[in-house]
Amino acid sequence: MARPPKARLPLKQAALELFVEHGVHGTGIRDIAKHAGCSEAALYRHWANKDALVNALFREHLGDVRTILEQAIAEEAAFEDKVRAACRSCYKLYDEHLQVFRFVLLVQHELAKSLPTDLRMPQDVVTDLIKAAVVNGDLRREVKGEESLMAAAVIGIFLETAVFVLYNRLPGPLSRYVEQVTQAALRVVRR
Amino acid sequence: MARPPKARLPLKQAALELFVEHGVHGTGIRDIAKHAGCSEAALYRHWANKDALVNALFREHLGDVRTILEQAIAEEAAFEDKVRAACRSCYKLYDEHLQVFRFVLLVQHELAKSLPTDLRMPQDVVTDLIKAAVVNGDLRREVKGEESLMAAAVIGIFLETAVFVLYNRLPGPLSRYVEQVTQAALRVVRR
Amino acid sequence: MARPPKARLPLKQAALELFVEHGVHGTGIRDIAKHAGCSEAALYRHWANKDALVNALFREHLGDVRTILEQAIAEEAAFEDKVRAACRSCYKLYDEHLQVFRFVLLVQHELAKSLPTDLRMPQDVVTDLIKAAVVNGDLRREVKGEESLMAAAVIGIFLETAVFVLYNRLPGPLSRYVEQVTQAALRVVRR
Amino acid sequence: MARPPKARLPLKQAALELFVEHGVHGTGIRDIAKHAGCSEAALYRHWANKDALVNALFREHLGDVRTILEQAIAEEAAFEDKVRAACRSCYKLYDEHLQVFRFVLLVQHELAKSLPTDLRMPQDVVTDLIKAAVVNGDLRREVKGEESLMAAAVIGIFLETAVFVLYNRLPGPLSRYVEQVTQAALRVVRR
DNA sequence: AATGAATGAGATTTCATTCAT
DNA sequence: AATGAATGAAATCTCATTCAT
């Protein structure tokens, strides 16, 4: 191999920070390069263009979130514990890597059009969790056919609480709400 | 009284559609003008600049949503009916004026930084609804101090269900879920 | 109408001159704008991009050349006179508007790929002239089936003489060779 | 003797193909390197820079064409046979190495400005052939002083026929027209 | 009053070339 | 010796806004 890539990681880090801070459209190549301490052209060796960078970054971090969720859920046996673990793992990510969390949240709507349909999303993980609980008998049969609706409710409770903390409608850190949010979610899915 | 301006409405309609479709930053003056069937300069007869248009549009539609919510809530007496009316009114807006709904949702995040803090948001309406219910005794006293958290949960359930419909994770129209969403929200706030 | 376009013509003239002088690739938007005495952005109001300008310019001037040829040919009755008129009209263009002639010659190969197939070219005019002469009996029947080959030869004689003058292999002006070139072309097509 | 360089030939071949396909200016170092299956820096081990590569390539292939022409002409005694041999040798090159032919044709115009004047061109070979024929008495004395004009005509017939085949105005292979083109050229130069 | 031309500033992207490994 | 990363300069193009008619 020739020179080991030196700008790749700084560029990703800089892009993440600036995208979250000023939005994807509000952040220029120039800003990213300057913040990363390298030239603008360096970016184009690693990604075809700005869009490609955004997409790569999104896929990567979305994968992280999904993995965190899946692992947390897999490590618990009871449904309630799975829900709590899911919540705790995500809120931990929020508190420790706010930028990753915000980026995934932020860009999701902006990229909705250009995302491949085969991409497994965190929403899918939660939906599957609920479907499995219905099958297992952890949730009443009446929920049958409403799994997606229940998933929407659970995700909504998870996310909007984070949004409230983000915009200072609730005091942080987010993790302090794990138990309350978990109980709220459980009250929704358990009739 | 002078005759009403002719380009104003088409411009607003065009801006709304394009902002929702391509984002505020992704939509140029030329796009708006072309889509509205008038000249680029016409825009500057009605608003000082692009930002002013965006802000005016946001304030206006946010006001609509807030008003709809407030009226719906005011027209009912019981807490449960208020929640149901709030949900129904918003979901009706979604089904009939999807773009208004999406615009308010979308721009909120994109413009988070530049929004004036004095603006009363739909979130505030819901929070106040819950606070009032605690005072009235419609909700148990234990909720005291958790009003914002409860509001977050309720709003999350409302919104994420809409998002699920928007991205075809749930079949539309959104209004069909009013009762289920209402019950879910109530289960959360009622211990 | 608002402001009458002031930069359009200067831009076309500047582009023509610079394309001929330094080649299409060798000429930048900046050069064209500076030479035309206007801003770079002005160009994009009139053409979508550089390629579009090149194409429009080519189509326009190609049309001129074709029209000149067709008119010259139409004004004469005898085959020999038609050939002479064709040659004279083109060589007059060369001597008086060298840039147009060179541009059409230069860009032809560069644009070969992107040109629509329906475009009637000067080559077609000459080919049709010869086909008509065979039908009329102005040329022997033996030429039948060789019209395109004869057209190639005639055009080759026309063009390469111009190229020789262009590169100073022959002294100008080109028009002085009209009679000799005409006779050469006639010797080729008349068995 | 050191072992022969490994990347040199692939680079030359790739450059030739891409220059013909997209033009010299339209082809980048990266394109050439990728197409040749080696690194970008490799090019600079063999040539000082892009210009040097272009020039070397042009000189080489131009030399090839000139040599082919000169040999073909030298191997025949009679003027008519010389013309036929010249045509046949070039058309053979066209049919078997289209890219070399096109490259020499193409680059001649694109690089007209930057070409060294000392370079002996195929045009010179043909002009000398005709001059010699006048001196030898193979062509009438009346042609005296018109040698360059005659050379232009002969070359024009040769080239434009090839161009017609290139753009599908005539069916290939080009070699099938050797005899007809030869006769056409002879008719021009023989009064 | 209303248009569309024009613009300055800046965005993104490309390119030939050099550099570090 | 050979690679691919990095770069400065420049190219193309976009944009919100102003201007002349």
- Each residue of B150-179: pLDDT tens digit? 999 999 999 999 999 999 999 989 999 999
Q: Please indicate, yes or no, whether residues C32 and C101 belong to a single structural domain of this protein.
A: no
Q: Is D112 helix (H, G, I), strand (E, B) or coil?
A: helix
For residue D23, is it left (φ>0), alpha (ψ between -120 and 50) or beta? left
d(CA C12, nearest CA chain D) in Å? 21
Task: Report pLDDT for C145.
Answer: 84
Q: Please indicate, yes or no, whether residues C22 and C88 belong to a single structural domain of this protein.
A: no
Band (pLDDT 50/70/90 cuts) for residue D1 is very low
Q: Please indicate, yes or no, whether residues A76 and A111 belong to a single structural domain of this protein.
A: yes
Band (pLDDT 50/70/90 cuts) for residue C9 is very high
Residue of D nearest to C23 (CA): D110
For residue A144, count CB atoms less than 10 angstroms from its CB and return exposed for 0-12, middle for 13-18, buried for 19 or more.
exposed
Please provide the average confidence, as pLDDT, over all residues in chain C: 94
Residue nearest to nucleotide E17 (CA to C1'): D49
Please name the helix (run of DSSP H) or strand (run of DSSP E) that holds residue B33, with its range, or none. helix B29-36
Is residue C75 domain-resident?
yes
A113 CB inside 7 Å of strand E: no
Is residue A101 domain-resident?
yes
What CATH number is attached to the domain comprising B100?
1.10.357.10
Please provide the average confidence, as pLDDT, over all residues in chain B: 93
Is residue D51 domain-resident?
no
Residues of B in contact with A156 (CB under 8 A): 153, 155-161
Q: Is C156 helix (H, G, I), strand (E, B) or coil?
A: helix
- CA angle, A98 then A167 then B112, to 5°: 95
Nearest in space to A7 (alpha carbons), one of A35, A42, A41: A42
**Bases on strand F under 7 Å from any protein CB:** 2-21
Total CB pairs under 8 A between chain C and D: 96
Q: Please indicate, yes or no, whether residues A76 and A166 belong to a single structural domain of this protein.
A: yes
Q: Please indicate, yes or no, whether residues C34 and C89 belong to a single structural domain of this protein.
A: no
pLDDT tens digits, residue range B6-32? Answer: 789 999 999 999 999 999 999 999 999
Residue of D nearest to C167 (CA): D112
- Residue B90 clears pLDDT 70, i.e. is over it: yes
Residue of A nearest to B26 (CA): A25
Angle between helices D79-96 and D122-136 (to 10 degrees): 170
Q: From the list B26, B157, B170, which residue is nearest A156 (CB)?
A: B157
pLDDT tens digits, residue range A32-51? Answer: 999 999 999 999 999 999 99
Q: Please indicate, yes or no, whether residues D168 and D90 belong to a single structural domain of this protein.
A: yes
Q: Please indicate, yes or no, whether residues B75 and B105 belong to a single structural domain of this protein.
A: yes
Asked if the Cβ–Cβ distance from A153 to B161 is below 8 Å, we say yes
Gap from C45 CA to E4 C1', in Å?
9
Gap from A45 CA to F5 C1', in Å?
8
Is residue C131 domain-resident?
yes
Distance separating alpha carbons of residues A84 and A174, to the nearest angstrom = 14
- Residue D181 clears pLDDT 70, i.e. is over it: yes
Please provide the average confidence, as pLDDT, over all residues in chain D: 93
pLDDT tens digits, residue range B108-118? Answer: 888 777 777 78
pLDDT tens digits, residue range A109-166? Answer: 888 877 888 889 999 999 999 999 999 999 988 777 899 999 999 999 999 999 999 9
Asked if the Cβ–Cβ distance from D164 to C153 is below 8 Å, we say no
What CATH number is attached to the domain comprising D6?
1.10.10
Is residue A53 domain-resident?
no
Nearest in space to B25 (alpha carbons), one of B131, B139, B114, B130: B114
Phi, psi of B119 (to 5 degrees): -70, 125
Q: Please indicate, yes or no, whether residues A70 and A42 belong to a single structural domain of this protein.
A: no
Gap from A50 CA to E13 C1', in Å?
10
Q: Please indicate, yes or no, whether residues A26 and A118 belong to a single structural domain of this protein.
A: no
pTM above 0.85, yes or no: yes
Burial D71-85 (b: 16+ CB within 10 A, else e): ebbeeeeebeebbbb
Contact B124, A127 (CB under 8 A): no
Is residue C111 domain-resident?
yes
For chain B, say whether A98 makes contact (Cβ under 8 Å). no
Is residue A131 domain-resident?
yes
Task: Report pLDDT for D127.
Answer: 97
Cis check for the bond before A4: say yes or no (omega within 30 of 0).
no
Is residue B104 domain-resident?
yes
Band (pLDDT 50/70/90 cuts) for residue D5 is low
DSSP label at C170?
S
Gap from D103 CA to E7 C1', in Å?
42
Q: Please indicate, yes or no, whether residues C125 and C33 belong to a single structural domain of this protein.
A: no
Task: Report pLDDT for B2.
Answer: 46
Nearest in space to B133 (alpha carbons), one of B188, B66, B69, B82: B82
Nearest in space to B50 (alpha carbons), one of B107, B96, B5: B107
Range with the poorest average pLDDT among B78-87, B148-157, B158-167, D97-106: D97-106
Chains D and B touch (3+ CB pairs under 8 A): no
Q: Containing domain of residue B14, as a range?
A: 1-46
Our count of domains for chain B comes to 2
Phi, psi of D186 (to 5 degrees): -65, -40
Task: Report pLDDT for A65.
Answer: 96
Band (pLDDT 50/70/90 cuts) for residue D109 is confident
Task: Report pLDDT for B48.
Answer: 96
B40 CB inside 7 Å of strand E: yes
- Residue A1 clears pLDDT 70, i.e. is over it: no
pLDDT tens digits, residue range D127-173? Answer: 999 999 999 999 988 788 899 999 999 999 999 999 999 999 999 89
End-to-end Cα separation, chain B, in angstroms: 57
CB atoms within 10 A of CB B135: 12
Q: Please indicate, yes or no, whether residues B65 and B2 belong to a single structural domain of this protein.
A: no
For chain C, say whether D22 makes contact (Cβ under 8 Å). no
* pLDDT-above-90 percentage for chain D: 83
Residue nearest to nucleotide F2 (CA to C1'): D42
- Residue D116 clears pLDDT 80, i.e. is over it: no
Q: Please indicate, yes or no, whether residues A27 and A96 belong to a single structural domain of this protein.
A: no
Gap from A65 CA to F12 C1', in Å?
39
Task: Report pLDDT for A111.
Answer: 83
